[in-house]
Amino acid sequence: MKNHPYQLILSSSYEEAEVVPSFVSKIAMECGLDEECESTLMLLLSEAVTNAIVHGNKSDPAKKVRALLEVHTDEVVVTVSDEGEGFDPAVQKNPLDEENLLKSGGRGLFLIQELADSYEYRDHGTTLCFTVKRRE
């Protein structure tokens, strides 16, 4: 299968992020992604976009979040970028530590790290790239 790129550009608001599930569903249908891959992509892209909106762009609607999904024969490569100042992933709090267990947030990056087949931060933390393998 040839690489199929799909791009989504959003303003930094929760309302904009609500299009992520339908965006992923459309791609899954067009490219024949299996259900597990689709649901993993939906969760991880939603988390990455929300983090970019809230933490990266500080919910500033003038700033954009860009998501690029590249569908390959064996995997989907996702790149999410924001216009914020970036962050150091090495100083993230572990959501499984006792003092963090009852907090309402702080699990997005953890989920990505646990469920993606690979991930990396680029551009001083303003870009996250992760891969989800196709299981067909």
CATH code, domain carrying 92: 3.30.565.10
Is residue 94 within 8 Å of residue 100, measured between CB atoms?
Answer: yes
- For the cut 90, the answer to whether the pLDDT of residue 133 exceeds it is yes
pLDDT computed for residue 53 by the predictor: 95
CA angle (122 as vertex; 118, 128 as ends), nearest 5: 50
Range from 29-33, 72-76, 124-128 carrying the lowest mean pLDDT: 124-128
Is residue 124 within 8 Å of residue 118, measured between CB atoms?
Answer: no
Percent of the chain at pLDDT > 90 equals 67
**Cα–Cα distance measured from residue 70 to residue 126, given in angstroms and rounded to the nearest whole number:** 19
Beta bridge partners of 66: 9, 81
**Cα–Cα distance measured from residue 45 to residue 112, given in angstroms and rounded to the nearest whole number:** 9
Tens-digit pLDDT profile for residues 71-93: 999 999 999 999 998 776 766 66
pLDDT computed for residue 31 by the predictor: 95
**Cα–Cα distance measured from residue 56 to residue 112, given in angstroms and rounded to the nearest whole number:** 16
- For the cut 60, the answer to whether the pLDDT of residue 97 exceeds it is no
Mean pLDDT of 107-114: 78
Instruction: Look up residue 128 and give its DSSP letter.
Output: E
The tally of domains found in the chain comes to 1
Count CB atoms within 10 A of the CB of residue 17. 20
Give the residue numbers spanning the domain of 92: 4-133
- For the cut 90, the answer to whether the pLDDT of residue 38 exceeds it is yes
Is residue 93 within 8 Å of residue 53, measured between CB atoms?
Answer: no
Tell me which of 63 and 86 has the higher pLDDT.
Answer: 63
Mean pLDDT of 98-120: 72
